[in-house]
């Protein structure tokens, strides 16, 4: 008997315009492509481009050596379509730098819709602190591969470090 795959997991799900989603996707075979500084910096530049996300918006993200976490506000499109564009764009633009052809990312992605009573800032803190929880750095100030558009108050962001290993 064949195990149900990614497609079976997506059945019955729907995307909701205006909904905030916490999204995670891994590199193919969990290869640590973004351990390479030049590749990570180029990927971060691409991820930061608003046109990559339009008509949706990426509110916060962190790029880890073998995966990516983001907080996105979905526009007039489906979440699978948005993730296809995100992963496809990065795969095409980084393939020459990586010296490879084909997909950079695994086929699927994990998503969770934030409930209306959940704090976007708390979700952003969780995402950004991923590098500290993974013990890549001691403080978020030491990890360069993340961004947030929810707040410009540096004290709020630095407060993340004090809660990051919880």
Q: What is the pLDDT of residues 133-152, one digit of tens each?
A: 999 999 999 999 999 987 65
pLDDT in tens, 30-43: 999 999 999 999 99
Phi, psi of 67 (to 5 degrees): -165, 175
DSSP class of residue 2 equals P
Number of H helices, E strands in the chain: 7, 5
What average pLDDT does range 70-75 have in this prediction?
97
- Whole-structure pTM value: 0.85
pLDDT in tens, 59-68: 999 999 999 9
pLDDT in tens, 79-94: 999 999 999 999 999 9
How many CB atoms lie under 10 A from the CB of residue 133? 11
For domain 6-163, give the CATH number: 3.30.70.1290
| CB-count exposure of residue 104 (10 Å: 0-12, 13-18, 19+) | buried
């Amino acid at each position: 008997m064949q195990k149900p795959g990614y497609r079976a997991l997506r059945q019955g799900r729907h995307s909701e315009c205006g909904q905030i989603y916490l999204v995670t996707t891994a590199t193919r075979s969990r290869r640590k492509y973004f351990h390479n500084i030049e590749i990570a910096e180029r990927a971060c530049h691409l991820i930061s481009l608003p046109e990559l996300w339009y008509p949706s918006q990426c509110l916060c993200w962190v790029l880890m050596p073998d995966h990516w976490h983001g907080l996105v506000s979905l526009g007039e499109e489906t979440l699978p379509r948005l993730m296809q564009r995100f992963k496809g764009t990065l795969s095409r633009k980084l393939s020459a730098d990586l010296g490879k052809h084909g997909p950079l990312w695994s086929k699927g992605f994990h998503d969770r819709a934030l409930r209306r009573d959940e704090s976007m800032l708390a979700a952003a803190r969780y995402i950004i602190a991923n590098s500290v929880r993974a013990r890549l750095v001691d403080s978020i100030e030491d990890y360069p591969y993340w961004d947030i558009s929810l707040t410009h108050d540096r004290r709020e962001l630095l407060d993340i470090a004090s809660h990051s290993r919880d």
